[in-house]
Each structure stands twice: as C-alpha cells, then as structure tokens.
Amino acid sequence: MLVTTDCTWKSGMAFEAVMDGHKIIIDATPEVGGKDLGPRPKPLMLLSLAGCTGMDVVSILDKMKQKLSWFNVKVEAEQTEEHPKHYRKFVVIYQFRKSDNLDPGKVEKAVSLSQDRYCGVSALLGKAAELDHRIEYL
C-alpha cells in the first residue's frame, strides 16, 4: 500500500501539509531563518510515536475492560551532537493514574503488545535507534 503526502513550501522555512483533512504547518526557529509558525519536523516523529502507541494501548485496555480516567504518553529522545543530528535513543513513558486501580499485568501486556506487535511507528524507529519504555502510575 502506497501512502503519500505533499509538503508545500510557503515562505522562509515554513511548509504546509494537509493530512487526513487537517492542515499542518512546520517551520524552523528564527535563529535559522524560520518564523516559528509550527513545530519542527524531527520532533513530530516523537508525537507520531506517542500517538501511535497511545492509541494502541487505549484500544487494548478497553478490550481488557480496564477503564481509564486519564492517560498520558511522554517520549524522551536522545539526539546526537554531530550532523546529521538524529535520535539515537527513544524512551516511551506510559503514565496512568494510580486511582484508576488498573491491573498492572494487563497494563504491561497492553504496552508490550503495542511495542512488539501493533505500533508501526515503534517498529520503524526501533530499527533505527534504541527504543525502550517504562510505565508510571501517578
């Protein structure tokens, strides 16, 4: 299956894309010629990772009859100092509320299924860099 996107230059360092009917602007910081009209391209990969695995975990936990009142996915990434600067390590942090009294075994299973089987973004990034995760109850 072929998937494509168009990213049209607007001015300066800004580009506009339309994905799934939603407009996305990406831009650079003023220090490198941008106007900070939107996020940078590389950090959007972190958002893609968080969203992909987060949607998996919510869906799997729902099927396991685990009710969430709040859920957050944080991604930390270590970037190289030399050019081309790239991410060498990702840590996905799954945050749940203690008060939801979730079954820790089911939470771990949902996270593992997402990481190892369902999340295509995790699968791709895990081939390019170290990918780890942890679960936190706040």
Tokens representing 110?
């949902």
Name the packing angle between helices 104-113 and 41-63 (round to 10°). 130
Instruction: Give the pLDDT of residue 137.
Output: 98
* Range 44-55 burial, b when 16+ CB lie within 10 A, else e: ebbebbbebbbe
Q: Are 10 and 35 in contact (CB under 8 A)?
A: no
User: From CA 127, how far away is CA 75, in angstroms rounded?
Assistant: 17
Instruction: Give the pLDDT of residue 3.
Output: 87
Give the mean model confidence (pLDDT) for residues 24-51. 97
Instruction: Give the pLDDT of residue 52.
Output: 98
Residue found under tokens 């990034």: 125
